[in-house]
Amino acid sequence: MDPQVLNTLLMTIASTSHLAVDLFLRLLNVCVTDIEESDDGTESHQYADSTMLVAITDVLCSMDRRVWARETSTEWWDHIVLQSWDDEQWLQNFRMRKATFMGLCDDLASNLRRMNTRFRDALSVEKRVAIAIWKLATPDCFRSVANQFGVGKSTVGIVLMQVCRAINRTLTRRTVTLGNVQDILDGFAEMGFPNCGGAVDGTHIPIISPPHLASEYINRKGYFSVVLQALVDHRGHFTDIYSGWPGKVHDARIFRNSALFRRLRAGTFFPDHKITVGDVEMPIVILGDPAYPLMPWLMKPYTGKLDRSKERFNYGLSRCRMTVERAFGRLKARWRSLFGKLDLMESGITAVISACCTLHNICEGKGERFSEEWTSEVRRLENEFAQPESRANREAQERASRIRDAIREQFDAESQQ
């Protein structure tokens, strides 16, 4: 038997034996005292029963804490990380500087603060957030994170979900948002595409085999995954996210079932801002790869045999659409748990992905430095979990084709000037 397990067992037996002896002696004392104090020399059973109950309660409430919780060390977090680490150490390990981390804790405090109990002190808000961020930023298993912070393995899982749900409840709505539309239009215009409000794409997040309908989660590369669909602006900030669909499902189907599709089709996602290209009226558009349907408000590349003007159009579109691919790359390089086959229930996976997207926007918005070393660290994982190639799913609609052709002709004319 493992010496540590044997030691724990013996301590438990010793504590339990001590408890039994203490309880026996107290009950014996109660009975003797009750008989001595009885006026007629007979037992007062009602009084004895009440006193016994009080004695049992006293013993149970005075039990050694070792029966309930294992002693662990928090020296590393309390005295090394909090008091000694500089911003570079915080950035490398928590993906953000200490000031950003503390600001995050302030935002989440009302949702994460817990009261101390008789048996143990509650974890501080800062330690809860640190446990979750460390788990998200590293490929470490739950046991490794538990040992690092001096908590139980199950505590890491509980805290991770508490923090992720607090982030989603408190910060996601105000962080993953469209922002200033004119800035986005100007940003994509400088990159070469007119009246563009964002780039959309999907990425596969590896997971372990789910307990139900596992075959639905196997993507075309042969591993289990869920899909994150995201719309990003010209800076690579997420402006809309939608996750949780099984990896087997086509990107176009996920898109058509999203709130983003419904709002774009209804014309309520962007303000009404149209321009004229040639003789065609063009609304604000988003850019997608060939897997997405061609719509008046969604442009995608030409496929098949391409002439020079079509190649020029595809180049301009691809240059802007790369923003979403770079955003996915930075997201996964910062939060490496997204490459670690998330060992969570389906609802937990969605909460973690959403929280990572929110944290990505916070770090980008705060100007947190992104280290290229992080990208090299995940290249091996990118090879292991390669993204399935996109597939075209349907023919272009007539009106959308006219808009795309008009933009192509404008690109062609500009190149000849």
CB-CB contact of 388 with 206 (8 Å): no
Would you state the structure tokens that stand for residue 70, as one six-digit string? 């294992």
Which of 102-106, 202-206, 211-215 is predicted least confidently?
211-215
Pairing status of strand 285-287 against strand 298-299 = parallel
Distance in angstroms (rounded) separating the CA atoms of residues 197 and 181: 7
| Cα distance between the two ends of the chain | 82
pLDDT band at 415 (very low <50, low <70, confident <90, very high): confident
The percent of residues in the chain predicted with pLDDT above 90, rounded, is 61
Residue 169 Cα distances to 40, 115, 214, 364, angstroms:
68, 21, 29, 20
Say if residue 32's pLDDT is above 60: no
Higher pLDDT among residues 35 and 252, named by residue: 252
Q: Are 260 and 200 in contact (CB under 8 A)?
A: yes
At residue 66, does pLDDT exceed 50? no
Q: What average pLDDT does this structure show over 142-163?
A: 94
* pTM attached to this predicted model: 0.79
Residue-averaged pLDDT of the chain: 84
Q: Are 295 and 282 in contact (CB under 8 A)?
A: no
| pLDDT surpassing 80 at residue 95 | yes
For 238, other C-beta atoms within 10 Å of its C-beta total 26
